Chain A
Amino acid sequence: DAKTTQPTSMDCAEGRAANLPCNHSTISGNEYVYWYRQIHSQGPQYIIHGLKNNETNEMASLIITEDRKSSTLILPHATLRDTAVYYCIVSPSHNTDKLIFGTGTRLQVFP
């Protein structure tokens, strides 16, 4: 079972920052936080991951709280193409196996 809790849905205006929260209060010391998204039944797309430090790449930023029990994915300037279901997943760093997807957050970006 997924070890994360996310809001079912969120809205965001185009051009504004989208902040997607995730709770993972039972995260273990060796588990990373991963974010994937799925645009309308396409294959899931990797976005970003982190262990305890904040991370940024060309797609998004990931803010992890100091106690690592929650995190926030930030899309700095949301576009209509960012409308998707966003999944927060915790996984051990050495894991070569399954990703466990929950129900995610359905982000709707509106004009």
Chain B
Amino acid sequence: EPEVTQTPSHQVTQMGQEVILRCVPISNHLYFYWYRQILGQKVEFLVSFYNNEISEKSEIFDDQFSVERPDGSNFTLKIRSTKLEDSAMYFCASSEPPRADTQYFGPGTRLTVL
């Protein structure tokens, strides 16, 4: 069964460093998402992406964050200058037309900012 994959599974970085989290969505899906979950807290929406542009973003998704679909398979989340409070699990998700609201999630990347 097709699944969303994410790499790396765990990323440790120093505060102020840039990180890129990578996702490979399910191949025929056209809608892509990033969510995050701080330890012990709710899953929070960050951004959605469709047709090579952001369709919606949350207040969390400030200028430090960016997303890109550099080729036909990868979908990346970049954090330009990490902060301690960026430590969280980051989940990528994808969905297919016409039902964009049934989203399939990857296993997550645990980001630890020291």
Cα–Cα, bound, A38→B105 (Å) = 10
List which B74-114 residues lie within 8 A (CB) of chain A: 89, 91, 93, 95, 100-108
Binds B, one of A13-21, A66-74, A91-99: A91-99
Cα–Cα, bound, A46→B105 (Å) = 8
> What does DSSP make chain B's interface, helix, strand, loop or mixed?
strand
A96's partner among B37, B44, B100, B106 (CB-CB below 8 A) is B100
B95 to chain A, nearest CB (A): 8
Q: Given the complex, which residues of A lie within 8 Å of B37, measured CB to CB?
A: 41
**Does A106 sit within 8 A of B, measured CB to CB?**
no
Q: Given the complex, which residues of A lie within 8 Å of B104, measured CB to CB?
A: 46
Q: Given the complex, which residues of A lie within 8 Å of B44, measured CB to CB?
A: 101
> What does DSSP make chain A's interface, helix, strand, loop or mixed?
loop
**A102 and B42 in contact, given A32-B101, A44-B105, A97-B55 (Cβ under 8 angstroms):** yes
**Does B4 sit within 8 A of A, measured CB to CB?**
yes
Q: Given the complex, which residues of A lie within 8 Å of B43, measured CB to CB?
A: 38, 44, 87, 99, 101
B101's partner among A42, A45, A96, A102 (CB-CB below 8 A) is A96
Q: Given the complex, which residues of B lie within 8 Å of A44, measured CB to CB?
A: 43, 91, 93, 103, 105
Q: Given the complex, which residues of A lie within 8 Å of B35, measured CB to CB?
A: 99
Cα–Cα, bound, A43→B4 (Å) = 10
Q: Is the CB of A98 within 8 A of B45?
A: yes
Q: Which 3 A-B pairs have the closest CB atoms?
A: A43-B105, A98-B45, A96-B100
Measuring CB to CB, which residues of chain B are less than 8 angstroms from any residue of chain A? 4, 31, 33, 35, 37, 42-45, 48, 50, 55-56, 58, 89, 91, 93, 95, 100-108
22 A-B contacts (beta carbon < 8 Å): A34-B102, A41-B89, A42-B107, A42-B108, A43-B93, A44-B43, A44-B91, A44-B105, A45-B105, A46-B102, A92-B101, A93-B101, A96-B31, A96-B55, A96-B101, A97-B48, A98-B45, A98-B56, A98-B58, A99-B43, A99-B45, A101-B43
